[in-house]
Amino acid sequence: MSSSAALENSVVFGLNELFDLGLTKNEMIFISQKAEHNYVGVNCGIMDQYASMFGIKDHGLLLDCRTIIAKPFEINFDNHQLVLNNTNVKHSLSDSTYNDRRSACENIAKLLVIKALRDANVELLESIIGKVTPENYQKALYVIQENERTLKAAKAIQNNDLEKLGALMYGSHNGLQHQYKVSCNELDFLVDQSKKNKFVLGSRMMGGGFGGCTINLIEKEAVLDFTSSTSKAYKNKFNKDCSVYFIELSEGTHTIK
């Protein structure tokens, strides 16, 4: 769903094919990432580029961004499906505080004398609570907790525990909203609307924040009613449309023959 990563990957992949450059997919995703860093000005990680390049149909990928190795696992939600609600709020991450948040987390990692916050736990973070601002402490705490939620979510999917997965999605959005503070009123409204529907198991914002989409895990038979009522409520609240996307997990960047 990351439009920028998909565009970058398709361009470098196409050039590689046209001019027989001999680049590997791993090399290509780092070229795509450099376009974000050097042209767009967003100091992003490698997740979007990896997912767009290496996607596997009907599978999720548990990616280790340090080793650039992902564990694929089949996703079959049976009578549930994923639906995206688009706020149609355009975000510009280079103009937002995205880079500031990354910088704050990197500085805290230095204080902890670790390479990245993935190497920390809550107890270690508490050891420097007096050395950082409350706001930056919460941002780092969110990252540590979100890493834990990600591992739990992967297990929940593999165990077909959709109730657990939904709860983790709501927990993730709560952290993004109140700790990392990259949500917005429109995203929060859509997540709150999902909580009013008993057929929705979980919802959270996705992407870099400050706009974009929510992703919802919902019972298939209730999708049309949910999307219709949510779109109507959103229109009444913000006087703008809420687009709905029905998604599929597909193959990554490849040549169409």
Which residue type is seen at 48? Answer: D
Q: Please pick, among 48, 95, 100, 241, the residue that the annotation labels catalytic.
A: 48
Among all chains, which residue has been given the structure tokens 């920028």?
4
Tokens of 4: 């920028």
Q: Counting Cβ atoms within 10 Å, is residue 17 exposed (0-12), middle (13-18) or buried (19+)?
A: exposed
Grouping H, G, I as helix, E, B as strand and the rest as coil, residue 64 is: strand
**Long-range interactions of 16-25: CB distance < 8 A, separation 24+:** 17/255, 25/53, 25/54, 25/253
Q: Is 161 a catalytic residue?
A: no
Tokens of 6: 């998909």
Tokens of 147: 């890493």
CA dist 142 and 158 (Å) reads 24
Residues noted as catalytic: 48
